[in-house]
C-alpha cells in the first residue's frame, strides 16, 4: 500500500496495540484518513475505558495527525444507495459502517479494515487484513 488510505476503527485499535501486521501495512502510507464515524467510535472507546484521560489524550493526538473525512450531502446520497443495495442483497451492515463506506466511496479512498462485510459493497475499494 502507498499514498492515501482510510482506516476503519478496528484497524486503529490494532495500531494502538502495536499489531505488527497493521504497522507494516501502513509503513508506506503518506496520508492516513479517518471518516468522522471512526473518530466518534474512537472517542467513545476512550471515554468508555478504565484509563479515560490517558486514552483521550492518545486518541486525540492520533486524530489530529490524520486527515478527517467529513459527511457531506453527497455522502448522504451514497449512503442511501449503499443501504438500499445491501437491503436488496439481504446483507445489512452496522449503521456507522454504512457512513464509513459512503465517505470512502465519495473520496475514492480504499478502506483498510478487518471487517469482511465491507466486501459486499459495490465499488468500495477495500484492503482487508
Q: What is the pLDDT of residue 126?
A: 97
Range of the domain at 83: 3-128
Report DSSP state, residue 127.
E
Q: Are 114 and 17 in contact (CB under 8 A)?
A: no
Kindly state the DSSP code that residue 17 receives in the 8-state scheme. T
- Residues 20, 42: Cα–Cα separation, whole Å: 20
| CATH number, domain containing residue 93 | 3.40.50.1010
Domain count, the chain: 1
State yes or no: pLDDT of 72 exceeds 70: yes
- Model confidence, pTM: 0.94
**Mean pLDDT in the chain?**
96
Amino acid at each position: 500500500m502507498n499514498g492515501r488510505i482510510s482506516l476503519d476503527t478496528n484497524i486503529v485499535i490494532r495500531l494502538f496495540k502495536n499489531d505488527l501486521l497493521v504497522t507494516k501495512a501502513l509503513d508506506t502510507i503518506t496520508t492516513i484518513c479517518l471518516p468522522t464515524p471512526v473518530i466518534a467510535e474512537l472517542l467513545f472507546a476512550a471515554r468508555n475505558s478504565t484509563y479515560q484521560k490517558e486514552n483521550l489524550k492518545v486518541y486525540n493526538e492520533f486524530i489530529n495527525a490524520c486527515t478527517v473525512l467529513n459527511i457531506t450531502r453527497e455522502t448522504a446520497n451514497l449512503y442511501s444507495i449503499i443501504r438500499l443495495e445491501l437491503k436488496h442483497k439481504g446483507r445489512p451492515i452496522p449503521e456507522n459502517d454504512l457512513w464509513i463506506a459512503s465517505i470512502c466511496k465519495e473520496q475514492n479512498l480504499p478502506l483498510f479494515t478487518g471487517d469482511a462485510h465491507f466486501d459486499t459493497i459495490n465499488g468500495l475499494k477495500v484492503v482487508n487484513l
